[in-house]
Every structure is written in C-alpha cells, then in structure tokens.
Structure 1
Amino acid sequence: MTTVGILGGGQLARMLALSGAPLGLRFLVMDTASDACAGQFAPLLVGDYRDEAALAEFASKVDVVTFDFENVPAESAEWLAQRVPVFPNPRALAVAQDRLVEKTLFRELGIPVGAFADVASYEQLRDEVERLGGACILKTRRLGYDGKGQFRLRSVGDVDAAWEALGTQAETVGLIVEAFIPFERELSVVAVRGRDGEFRTWPLTENWHVDGVLSASLAPARIDEALARAAREHARKLAEALDYVGVFALELFHRDGQWLANEMAPRVHNSGHWTIEGAETSQFQNHLRAVLGLPLGDTRVLGHACMLNWIGEMPAATPVLQEAGGYWHDYGKEPRGGRKVGHATVRADDAEALAHALARIGVGLARQAQVAPVIARLTA
C-alpha cells in the first residue's frame, strides 16, 4: 500500500487525506504543531521542517512527498528529493516562495504582470513609489499570505508608514513594491499537470476577498471564452516551464479586457474547494493522481457551484444543509480571529437556482454581504 507524505498539516492536507481514502492510500503528515487538523485523519509526525533527523524519519516511512503549505522551506524539499520523489518539485516551490522571482518568471514567459521592483532600502522605496505614481503595495518577498506581510500605499506620503511597518524585513525575507492594479475582477485558474505532462484545468473561478482573505468563489466564472482560453494558456506555460507535477492555482486580475498575473500557489488552492462536490474530479484527488503517476480525472464542472469561506468561527450549519445542493466542511480547528476554520459549497443545475439558494443561505446566516456579489454576478 502506498504512503503519501504531506509536509504541512492544515486543512489542505486534511482534505487530501480524505480524498485519497477511496484510492486505498495511506498518509503521513509532518507539521510543527501537535494539534494540526490533518492529524485528526492521518498519522502526524511533529517536527521542525529544517530538522534533518525528523525529515529522515519522515522520508523513511513514505513513498512520495507533497505539501499543503508553500512556506515549507524549499531547502527541506530539496533534501527530501534526494531520498524520495517530491512533487511538485523543489524548484517550483522555491519560485513560488519569492514574489520577485515569481513575477520575473511570469514576465520571461510572456504572462502579463503589473509593474514591480525589488526594494532594499528606504530611499529605493521612495524612488520606486514616485516612479509608480504613488498607488502601490509594499510586500515581503517571502512568507506572506492571506494579506499578511503587505502595506497599501496611496501616495508618496505613505512611504514612512510603509517602511515602519515592513522595512525591518528588507534584509531577512526581502521586499517588493508592486503597482496597485484597480482590477475589475479577480479570477483563478486551478490546473493540474501529471507526471507524463498531461495538463488539465477546471473552469475559471471568480473570487471575492475581504481584508485579503478569500470570502467566496464562483465556478464557472462568467467570462469570454477567448479570455478563458488565454488564462488557461498562461497556466500551461507556467506548468511546463517549471516541469510542474500536481495541482496549482494561477491568480489573475482582469482589467480592460486583459489579464495581469498576481501570483501562483504551488498546491491545492482555496479557490478550488468547490471542486469536491462541484466537479467530476476534485482538485484533491487529481493532485494525488498526478503525484502518483495515475491517469488524471475529468475536470468539468457539474452545473454551477459557489464556495463560501468561514473565517474565525463556524456559523450554524442548518441554513446550508437544508439546501439540496448544500455541502458542509468543518476543518476541526479552534476558533481564532482571521483563521480559516471551514467552508461550504452550494451547487445547482443552473445559475438562477444557485442564486436563489445563496439568497436563502445569506438570510439564514445573516451573511447577505458575503453572498451579495456572487448573486449579482449570477443574475447580471
């Protein structure tokens, strides 16, 4: 029986383990926290990702390694790759961990991106903010996610505050400043590439964020087919350039009929959670199929689907579960401000039925603001 090792024990590892059960797979999860929620469904090895003794024990017990968390040290993935197959490969992980390297690769591949620049000093930040016209975002090159490690500047007058917030990290994780993009819509391509190079994508997903954290996702996105085809081609170029194996997400901004790439997530992705019930094959099972060298499953959507993220604490399940197409996911985490603790997926045969279901759920949970933009898109 094959044992899959997962570096990182959060909800993504948990859902990978659940989706792998029908394939007869075993799992071993490695995490720094003893209460990692994936440990509720798979054996958990607690250890530091840089501890070679812990990594050696992990490697000795698994047949293949993947990860659910892009901040696992790329050096640790490289160390493991010398002893056991690791997918996605450590290079893909390293590229996605550094925003400057990532955006430079996008540009080299002809994937459009907004203006950006490396920042090593206060003076350089001021110069670049002036060059970019004042409206921009200062970010850490490494370790930021869900809006963390970012500072929004509206003018040159915000440079002092931005440097006060993030300047101390210039010499540790590095900084990058990016032109602010007043995008019309934010979408993602969730894609999978197998060991044999087979490439598939799920239908484009439209996403809405609150305070930098994903709030809702809708699939399929209502987008012109020529634009959708271009987005899929951007994802294909990226996957082939990195010799990528597994699932990843390419996050895109849509503005004036054009795409601008935001970032890549080298793992199963929050905006693809709807695929568990809303697609022929989920992102989680296809990720496992890919890393094991198995045939990829069909990625077509089953009707229309919306995923709603639960942040901080779980709401009542009843308004979702009383819907014929309502599905509930509790990650088994302790409530905490800003923490992803669960999600729901709502599926329907057509857009009108999905809009009605979301409206009922919004009223039942007093979350009309969360569902309103999705309903507006479905009924436009």
Structure 2
Amino acid sequence: MKPVCVLGNGQLGRMLRQAGEPLGIAVYPVGIDAEPEAVPFQNSVITAEVERWPETALTRELASHTGFVNRDIFPRLADRLTQKQLLDQLGLATAPWQLLADASEWNSIYANIGELAIVKRRVGGYDGRGQWRFRQGEETALPEDCYGECIVEQGINFSGEVSLVGARSHDGKTVFYPLTHNLHQDGILRTSVALPTPNAAQQQQAESMLAAIMNELGYVGVMAMECFVVAEGLLINELAPRVHNSGHWTQNGASISQFELHLRAILDLPLPTPVVSTPSVMVNLIGTDVNNEWLSQPLVNLHWYEKEVRAGRKVGHLNLNDANPLLLKDNLQALVPMLPAEYASGIAWALEKL
C-alpha cells in the first residue's frame, strides 16, 4: 500500500492518520514549512487538509509531484470567485452574487440583491472570519483592501443549513452520506445532526449537484458541499475539497468514516456506499477545556485534538449515535450541565432534530 502524505498537520491530518492505521496505510501529516528532505513524499500519494497554502520549499517541491491528487483543483475552489463561477457554469443554484470591485458599486448592489449584503474575502477566511454583513449605509465599515478581493452575496432567508459529504473514485464512481443538518453560531459550526433516512428530495438534489461538480473537475476523494434550505430547494453556499467538520459524525455513525473514505478514494481502493443505520449528533468543542466527565455517558465518543485551548478555537468534538432515539436524547441532555452554558442552545436544537 502506498503511503499518503497530507499537506497540513492540523486535526484533519491527524484524523486521516488515525483512519489509515487499521488498513495498514501509513499517513504522514506534514507542516507546510517542513523541509522537503524530511518528508517521504517521493513515492507517496499526496493530499491536503487545507485548500490553500503559501509558497514554501515543500510546496514548491510538491507543485510538480505527479502523485498530488487534486493539486490543480485546490486553488480553483479556494478562491470564492472562481468557485462561484464554476457553479454558475454548471447551472447550479447559489445566492445571487457578484465581485465587489469598487465602493462606487454599492447603490447598484443593493438594487440588485436586496437590503442585506454578505461580503466574503475571495481567499482565506473561515469560521466567520473575513466575512461581513451590511445593510445600506453600513458598508462604510468595510476595510478598503477588500475591494477587488471580495465577493458580495445576497443575504438568504433560509429555514436551515445542510451539508452533503461525498466521495469520487479515480474511475468516476460517486458515493454519498445522508445529508447533515448543521447549526452555526457566529460563523462557527456548533452542532451537526445526521439521520439515516434524510429528506428524499433534498438528498437527491444534493447528490445530483455534488456529483456534477466532482465530475466536472475530475475530483478524486472526499468533498463537502454546504447548502441553504429554502422553499425552492437547496442553494449551494460553499464547497470544501477535503474532509469536513460537518462529516465528523461519520467516525462513529457510519460503517466507513469520511477519513477512511478519502483514503480509499485517493488510493484507488474499493469505494462502497457507507452504511448509516442510526441517528448521529456531533458537538464541536470550541475554546473549551477537556472534561473527563463527558465520558460518563455511554454514547459519548470524545475526539480531542491535543491543541492549546483558546477562545474560538476548535479543540475537539463529541460524537453520539444510537438506534434508540430516547437513549440518544438522554445522553445529549446529560451533557448540558457538563458543558459551558453556550452549548445548551445547540444541544436543544439537536434534540429537536432527532
């Protein structure tokens, strides 16, 4: 089995390494600043846990590596402008948008997209960073360096947010998990719920859209697609060409996790559709110290990233799944007094979804 080098050594690289161990796949997450001679990349398959990276000695070396899967796709999807252009090219539904080129455009922007504008940096920005919400007259607060470097979207009045995690093999086969319901607060994913029997129309629409995207790009591996739920169906919000936070529940709630599925795809191993037979809940741990009391609940699976705890930083997650929804709800409710108060609303939201 060929080894796999992961460009980036954060929690996603760590979980890819963990997924490779039972299959005998050596996975090496490496920092972008690593010295090339310290990385066993020559005979490896290369993947990445991040969409964009600076030029370093290592990334210069990998730029011509024939085993770097999706190498030329990453920059196209990392730029929100070229990502949106791809979706428009494929005729896939998104919020109305345009490039924000100059401050003189604001009057026409509000006339075209309505009273609420969402500004996003073309590159970088995540978990609510590099994004702004404006109503007419408030846009003067936007930093000058955003013009030409941001897109602006219509603020969408949505009833929910869902994501689809799927994978495509080298021969073009695609497989998907059930849709995941997501709750964001301050731009950060707080809680996810996946049900084994999703809304059939939404699942079909989402699978059709994500398959079209992956096939157009010739993408190989796991990709996540985040969508808004509106009366007409689903609107694509953003794409992530990698394993994704909203798919973490698959570690304990599916027969094959998203991390194993990605390794299977890029290494050209069999790619069956993962079996999902129970409801699952994922609770992101954000700026919260580890509490071993969480483990007193029999359904709680703790995934701790061993990172320094800082405000707003993802430091781990809790996965819970069971065929008995009452037991699942009891375990969720038992977590409330064990977590800071800001988690209560996310758990209450998950209980309503189950």
Q: Tell me which residue corresponds to 1:180.
A: 155
Q: CA deviation at 1:337?
A: 1.2
Once residues 66 and 40 of structure 2 are traced to their aligned partners in structure 1, the CA distance between those partners, rounded to angstroms, is 7
Deviations along 1:168-190, one digit per CA (max 9) or x if unpaired, are 1435xx11000001110000000
RMSD, aligned α-carbons: 2.1
1:170 and 2:152 correspond = no
Q: Tell me which residue corresponds to 2:305.
A: 331
Question: What is the DSSP-based 3-state SS (H/G/I as helix, E as strand, rest coil) of the residue aligned with 1:343?
Answer: strand
Which amino acid in the other structure matches residue 329 of structure 1? H
Question: What is the DSSP-based 3-state SS (H/G/I as helix, E as strand, rest coil) of the residue aligned with 1:188?
Answer: strand
Q: Tell me which residue corresponds to 1:158.
A: 138
Q: Tell me which residue corresponds to 1:347.
A: 321
Q: Is the 8 A contact 2:3 2:26 kept in 1?
A: yes
TM-score normalized by the length of structure 2: 0.93
Once residues 266 and 74 of structure 1 are traced to their aligned partners in structure 2, the CA distance between those partners, rounded to angstroms, is 19
Once residues 30 and 373 of structure 1 are traced to their aligned partners in structure 2, the CA distance between those partners, rounded to angstroms, is 37
Q: Is the 8 A contact 2:51 2:78 kept in 1?
A: yes
The 5-angstrom pairing of residues 93-242 of structure 1 reads 93-153=74-134, 155-161=135-141, 163-164=142-143, 167-170=144-147, 174-220=149-195, 223-242=198-217
Structure 2 CA distance for partners of 1:202 and 1:146, relative to 1, 3 Å = same
Question: What is the DSSP-based 3-state SS (H/G/I as helix, E as strand, rest coil) of the residue aligned with 1:15?
Answer: helix
Structure 2 CA distance for partners of 1:73 and 1:220, relative to 1, 3 Å = farther
Pairs aligned (count): 351
Q: Is the 8 A contact 2:4 2:26 kept in 1?
A: yes
1:82 and 2:56 correspond = no
Q: Is the 8 A contact 2:122 2:150 kept in 1?
A: yes
Q: Tell me which residue corresponds to 2:350.
A: 374
Deviations along 1:151-184, one digit per CA (max 9) or x if unpaired, are 111x2111101x23xx31435xx11000001110
Q: Tell me which residue corresponds to 2:21.
A: 21
Q: Tell me which residue corresponds to 1:281.
A: 256
Which amino acid in the other structure matches residue 235 of structure 2? L
Once residues 60 and 284 of structure 1 are traced to their aligned partners in structure 2, the CA distance between those partners, rounded to angstroms, is 20
1:356 and 2:324 correspond = no
Which amino acid in the other structure matches residue 279 of structure 1? A
Once residues 311 and 62 of structure 1 are traced to their aligned partners in structure 2, the CA distance between those partners, rounded to angstroms, is 37
Once residues 312 and 62 of structure 1 are traced to their aligned partners in structure 2, the CA distance between those partners, rounded to angstroms, is 38
Q: 1:307 aligns with which of 276, 282, 295?
A: 282
Q: CA deviation at 1:91?
A: 3.0
Once residues 61 and 287 of structure 2 are traced to their aligned partners in structure 1, the CA distance between those partners, rounded to angstroms, is 35
Once residues 326 and 11 of structure 2 are traced to their aligned partners in structure 1, the CA distance between those partners, rounded to angstroms, is 31
Deviations along 1:279-327, one digit per CA (max 9) or x if unpaired, are 00000001001111111144121311100000112341323x2222210
Which amino acid in the other structure matches residue 273 of structure 1? H
